[in-house]
Structure 1
Amino acid sequence: MTHRTTPPPPPPTVLLRGGEVHSPADPFATAMVLEHGHIAWVGSEGAADAFADGADEVIDLEGALVTPAFTDAHVHTTGTGLALTGLDLSDAGSLAEALERVAAHARSHPGDRVLLGHGWDAARWPGGRPPTRRELDRATGGRPLYLSRIDVHSAQVTSALLDLVPGVTHRTGFAAEAPLTGDAHHAVRAAAYGAVTAGQREEAQRAALRHAASRGIGSVHECGGPEISDEEDFTGLLRLAAAEPGPRVTGYWAEEVASAADAARVRALGAHGAAGDLFADGALGSHTACLHTPYADGAAGHRGTPYLDATAVATHVTACTEAGLQAGFHAIGDAALSAVVGGVRAAAEKLGIARVRAARHRVEHAEMLTEQTVADFADLGLTASVQPAFDALWGGEDGMYARRLGVERARTLNPFAALLRAGVPLAFGSDSPVTPLDPWATVRAAAFHRTPEHRVSVRAAFTAHTRGGWRAMGRDDAGTLVPGAPADYAVWRTGELIVQAPDDRVARWSTDPRSGTPGLPDLTPGGALPECLRTVVAGRTVFSTAG
């Protein structure tokens, strides 16, 4: 007997009217029609009456703002969900508070095989010291605990968790009391996440996607890989996203590809590309980002940890390009970025630069760029998948960047304006759970970068967080509210809309209607950010404050 699944009914035809519709098709639009999961029409209130009789639903926006849904171009969905539902130390103000919260979490989760926590940042605590293994042993009563640093490139663990990982003390990155990095960290993370049941993992994924939808995010790029999670976590998330209403999930699998067979295996997992967190180096906060010049506050001569050289990068990019698969890398330090650019350049010399450009390979984070590497990104057609919230969290003359690198080097980080001037495509993301799923805060962080010369306009930042994410995965037909585009949008309660003058960066504004440019919320620091009222993906509501 054959069982047939009844397909869901088609998305309704909807008329939205009485609001502000952010559309380049009509900068003064107040109404929009959706048909078959796509934008059918955008225009003025007066013309909307002609569509009312044919609509299944008419929504009075009551003055609300309608924008394209955001795309978060770098997310770790399961980790985000576990932080939302479990122990999150990102707001812990001191080591003592963190240890108290670890102890409370252990008491309230007596049945967990391995305790999981995330988000501690000793750089922001008085004294600047991370917890020791002995302190965590006492706080947990001797139970296994995995406690990742906020950048997820190092972790402190208990002795009981080390006992579950044979040979970990001989792996690179192991230290007797200090947080683990490198191979030792990857090994204990695999053991910790391996203790998460399928039910726990699925509920964490649902929690993360629900939270994303509540923030006006209609699409996320999942950055998985063998050193981050496992194949079942990755494929399970893709199945869940395909089966249940929620944000779209585009999966990237960070595994090196050296042949057509390798590329086929990555595709078989459902991955859009062999990209995301394919590590060329680590992170600045964990002293593992790979630098040309030593850290200012590290051991003498310490330059971080290189994971891939230019030869390995070239092999990966060549194989991916030949297979028609998008490639990409995690690279933060200037030495790591030099290796990535050198490898991509070598692949272009072998295959022809046009083929490499057409593949739209991407680099995650790309923080310590120079004028030369910015120019190389533009020439090679690389997309910069970046996280402006990093600067908001760690930038400034007294921030973590300045402590790790010194003030002068820290000022060069995250040069968004230079990337845009050079024509490098930008895609904004959060790297959640490293920083929160909070797209308007991300736009504000880019527009009010702590280093003024790196600031971009609110409009450019908004584009990078909407259309930029679609372009980063090779789609040029989405991320804007124009006829024919997917009906992925969000409705916002917001304050005054402003139109930024095209010759300004941030400080001065224009509300001259002759600009013909749709307005965006005033994101001046200290002001309230827009509140999401509804998120719609492919014409179906995936979040609504109305229930």
Structure 2
Amino acid sequence: MTAQTPDARTSHDAGRPANSAREAGGSARRTVLLRGGTVHSPADPFATAMVVEGDRVAWVGSEGAADGFADAGGVDDVVHLEGALVTPAFTDAHVHLTATGLALTGLDLSGATGLADALARIRAHAAARPADRVLIGQGYDETAWPEGRPPTRAELDEAAGGRPLYLTRVDVHSAAVSTALLDLVPGIAGRDGFAAGEPLTSDAHHAARRAAYAAMSPAQRAAAQGAALDRAAAVGIGSVHECAGPDVSGAEDFAALLALAAERPGPRVTGYWGEAVTDPVDARRIRDLGAFGAAGDLCADGSLGSRTAHLTRPYADRPGHRGNGYLDADAVAAHVAACTEAGLQAGFHAIGDAAVAAVVAGVRAAAERVGLDRVRALRHRVEHAEMLTPETVAGFAELALTASVQPAFDAAWGGEEGMYARRLGAERARTLSPYAALLRAGVPLALGSDAPVTPLDPWGTVRAAAFHRTPEHRVSARAAFTAHTRGGWRAVGRDDAGVLVPGAPADYAVWAAGDLVVQVPDDRIANWSTDPRSGTPGLPDLTPGADLPVCLRTVVAGNTVHGGPIG
């Protein structure tokens, strides 16, 4: 695995970064023929074979033509697909790899059935990890527990045996912590977001997270990061966008991750650093950290679950409370203008309608300052972008903002009786995540998981977009698949990748899948079609309840990073 080189981070040609060092010669120039399956390619909707030369796709076509390649003796290896499906590898456009790995290797409360179960899991984790200087867990969701409340500090002190414990809520915008963890942050009781007996939010939460991550050993961090990269590869993800920052994971964690990704096989890692800047010199400093952009979790607000997303009208379940606005339009404008002057992609986390409106207003003001064409060329991005209005959707299109979205949020918390409806009321909740409206307006989508908030599960993510709980927001499975493959590459300025056509990077996954179909986002009875006359490459059946494909092999730049023989 080769992380982005300085050239890849800084060179642009009409918004396109230069090729990475891996593509410039990191893989051996072997020629591989894959045959006897189905290749998902717009170059040939009936393709059954593909040739890869080194780190690039060289040819896509039919089985008969594949015989010619094999007979000519120009192939070093032949992969017999045995009917398997080959697709571009997925790109997860929003992840937190260290936190994801900590959940995979340790304390994950996402499956806890209640408060007692959660406390029992904490006790077991503490007993199993006596050498860890700090216990870190994630994923609790008190709204799904019979008790309807998070653990108290006294309960955490007992369960952790008096050790430092940092435990994030599922949305990662608040945290329950032990007394010993608070002791690592002098003066925390005076910070915004600290209330006796309540989970930490805002600045108090950020300070606690910095202390918890700083207390991790290098070995603990490396094990977590490696586990997350391995899981991504195992589910067919060939590229991830790490959303780091001073209040998210810290510079040491970010540097360690990029170094690890550079020295081991695995998915590509594009790093984002969520820190606001006010001049081009600061923007260049962020580039020097190894970041592709000053974006990701640069938070304009918080989350709906923690009631920290910034709303124009109060929460339905907390009258008078409208959440937290961390950046106003002026701060957004200063950041975008500085990044644009430095040729660096900017971006923000924005969920509530007030926060999204502030971002759009700020980007528009920056465009007036530095030029609309320059702003559009850098494809600045907005993470989550859940509470949109027709006006902010139009603003995204006007400013060429990429919407980096997580359909699994709707699958987990949407619907008439879900958490979103409890927080906002059913009427407002129905407006969330309007993917169809975004695509109709020409707004590019890049799909991700926000792991560990929701799992690394690309086909589940595509399904969630195609079967949005609000039917008018659904998109076709093909559109969702494109947003989860090409969309992530386009978000970093690469229009030539995320698709299996000659000349594209050889990043692909091989799947055991059932019959392939063409799905459209409406309620017609004839919703699924296998008519070959359509000339449209099919995808697996993603109907809720259908089995999702199983990843057999993941290849990045021509190198296998997961799996073995097919069949």
Q: Which residue does the alignment assign to 2:557?
A: 538
Matched, 1:418 2:437: yes
Q: Which residue does the alignment assign to 1:248?
A: 268
Matched, 1:196 2:216: yes
Q: Which residue does the alignment assign to 2:196?
A: 176
Question: How far did 1:11 drift?
Answer: 4.3
User: What secondary structure sits across from 1:296 in the alignment?
Assistant: coil
C-alpha change, 1:372 and 1:28, in structure 2 (3 Å) is same
Instruction: Give the counterpart letter for 2:51 in structure 1.
Output: V
8 Å contact kept, 1:456–1:506? no
Task: Provide, for residues 314-368 of structure 1, a one-character-per-residue CA deviation record: whole Å limited to 9, x for no partner.
Answer: 0000011111100000000000001000000101111221111111000000000
Q: Which residue does the alignment assign to 1:338?
A: 357
8 Å contact kept, 1:457–1:504? no
8 Å contact kept, 1:117–1:147? yes
Unaligned runs of 5+ in 1: 1-6
Matched, 1:473 2:492: yes
Greater shift in the superposed pair: 100-109 or 480-489: 100-109
| Counterpart pick for 1:209 among 225, 229, 248 | 229
Greater shift in the superposed pair: 7-16 or 231-240: 7-16
Task: Provide, for residues 276-307 of structure 1, a one-character-per-residue CA deviation record: whole Å limited to 9, x for no partner.
Answer: 00000000000100000000112x31000010
Q: Which residue does the alignment assign to 1:81?
A: 101
User: What secondary structure sits across from 1:91 in the alignment?
Assistant: coil
CA–CA distance in structure 1, aligned partners of residues 110 and 74 of structure 2: 50
Matched, 1:327 2:341: no
Q: Which residue does the alignment assign to 2:49?
A: 31
Matched, 1:500 2:516: no
C-alpha change, 1:546 and 1:203, in structure 2 (3 Å) is farther
| Counterpart pick for 1:355 among 374, 377, 381 | 374
- Report 1:138-157 matches (<5 A): 138-157=158-177
CA–CA distance in structure 2, aligned partners of residues 539 and 509 of structure 1: 34
Task: Provide, for residues 363-410 of structure 1, a one-character-per-residue CA deviation record: whole Å limited to 9, x for no partner.
Answer: 000000001100110011000000000000000111110110011000
Q: Which residue does the alignment assign to 1:3?
A: none
C-alpha change, 1:391 and 1:505, in structure 2 (3 Å) is farther
CA–CA distance in structure 2, aligned partners of residues 8 and 394 of structure 1: 42
Q: Which residue does the alignment assign to 2:65?
A: 47
User: What secondary structure sits across from 1:261 in the alignment?
Assistant: helix
Matched, 1:437 2:448: no
Instruction: Give the counterpart letter for 1:332 in structure 2.
Output: I
Question: How far did 1:502 drift?
Answer: 9.0
CA–CA distance in structure 2, aligned partners of residues 505 and 96 of structure 1: 46
Matched, 1:117 2:137: yes
Question: How far did 1:9 drift?
Answer: 5.8
Instruction: Give the counterpart letter for 1:406 in structure 2.
Output: G
User: What secondary structure sits across from 2:562 in the alignment?
Assistant: strand
How large is the Cα RMSD of the aligned pairs? 1.4
Instruction: Give the counterpart letter for 1:153 in structure 2.
Output: H
CA–CA distance in structure 2, aligned partners of residues 510 and 116 of structure 1: 47
- Report 1:253-332 matches (<5 A): 253-298=273-318, 300-332=319-351
CA–CA distance in structure 1, aligned partners of residues 380 and 51 of structure 2: 35
Task: Provide, for residues 173-195 of structure 1, a one-character-per-residue CA deviation record: whole Å limited to 9, x for no partner.
Answer: 00111100001001111111111
- Report 1:361-372 matches (<5 A): 361-372=380-391
C-alpha change, 1:129 and 1:505, in structure 2 (3 Å) is farther
CA–CA distance in structure 2, aligned partners of residues 279 and 378 of structure 1: 21
Q: Which residue does the alignment assign to 1:101?
A: 121
8 Å contact kept, 2:477–2:520? no
Task: Provide, for residues 428-485 of structure 1, a one-character-per-residue CA deviation record: whole Å limited to 9, x for no partner.
Answer: 0000000000000000000000000100000000000000000011100000000000
Q: Which residue does the alignment assign to 2:7?
A: none
C-alpha change, 1:375 and 1:119, in structure 2 (3 Å) is same
C-alpha change, 1:503 and 1:526, in structure 2 (3 Å) is closer
User: What secondary structure sits across from 2:346 in the alignment?
Assistant: strand
Question: How far did 1:127 drift?
Answer: 3.0
Matched, 1:16 2:34: yes
Unaligned runs of 5+ in 2: 1-24
C-alpha change, 1:345 and 1:506, in structure 2 (3 Å) is farther
Instruction: Give the counterpart letter for 1:515 in structure 2.
Output: S
CA–CA distance in structure 1, aligned partners of residues 218 and 153 of structure 2: 29
Task: Provide, for residues 205-260 of structure 1, a one-character-per-residue CA deviation record: whole Å limited to 9, x for no partner.
Answer: 11100100000000000000000011121122112212211100001111112112
Greater shift in the superposed pair: 407-416 or 227-236: 227-236
| Counterpart pick for 2:531 among 487, 490, 512 | 512
Question: How far did 1:501 drift?
Answer: 5.5
- Report 1:220-239 matches (<5 A): 220-239=240-259
CA–CA distance in structure 2, aligned partners of residues 248 and 80 of structure 1: 16
C-alpha change, 1:259 and 1:516, in structure 2 (3 Å) is same
Q: Which residue does the alignment assign to 1:452?
A: 471
Greater shift in the superposed pair: 390-399 or 498-507: 498-507
Greater shift in the superposed pair: 510-519 or 73-82: 510-519
Q: Which residue does the alignment assign to 1:4?
A: none
Question: How far did 1:142 drift?
Answer: 1.6
Q: How many pairs are equivalent? A: 540
Q: Which residue does the alignment assign to 1:380?
A: 399
Q: Which runs of 4+ in 1 moved over 6 A?
A: 502-507
CA–CA distance in structure 2, aligned partners of residues 321 and 506 of structure 1: 48
8 Å contact kept, 1:29–1:44? yes
The percentage of aligned residue pairs carrying the same residue is: 74
CA–CA distance in structure 2, aligned partners of residues 506 and 234 of structure 1: 49
